[in-house]
Amino acid sequence: MEEDTTGAAWRAGIRQSGSIERDCDAFARLVDEDQDPAEVCYYEAVSDPQARAMNRAQRSYAGQYERRLRRLAHQGRDSVEPGGG
């Protein structure tokens, strides 16, 4: 069976990146403080409903896939009979 290294790397990146909701809150606090044009641009990007929906979908997919892999590994472990046969 061929390993899915690019998919594993993508899923790991999604898990490590954190929620876009948290980023949105942080940028909102920064924008309230000084109205820096770059921060305003970032805030607008992360507060876009489509970007938030995409982030939720990606995180959900990555989590579901990881749970599926764990379940399959667990089932494979349970199906092996002691003594080799």
How many domains does the chain divide into?
A: 1
pLDDT confidence of residue 80: 64
Please give the structure tokens belonging to residue 64. Answer: 């579901």
- By residue range, what is the domain housing residue 30? 18-70
Q: What would the pLDDT profile of 3-53 be if each residue is shown by its tens digit?
A: 677 888 888 888 888 778 777 788 888 888 888 888 888 888 888 899 889
Q: Provide the phi-psi class of 35: left if phi over 0, else alpha when psi is between -120 and 50, else beta.
A: left
In a domain, 75, yes or no: no
Is 48 strand, coil or helix?
coil
Question: Given pLDDT bands bounded at 50, 70 and 90, which one contains residue 1?
Answer: very low
pLDDT confidence of residue 3: 62
- Alpha carbons 85 and 82: distance in angstroms, whole number: 7
Contact (Cβ atoms closer than 8 angstroms) between residue 62 and residue 14: yes
- Pick the residue with more confidence: 7 or 61? 61
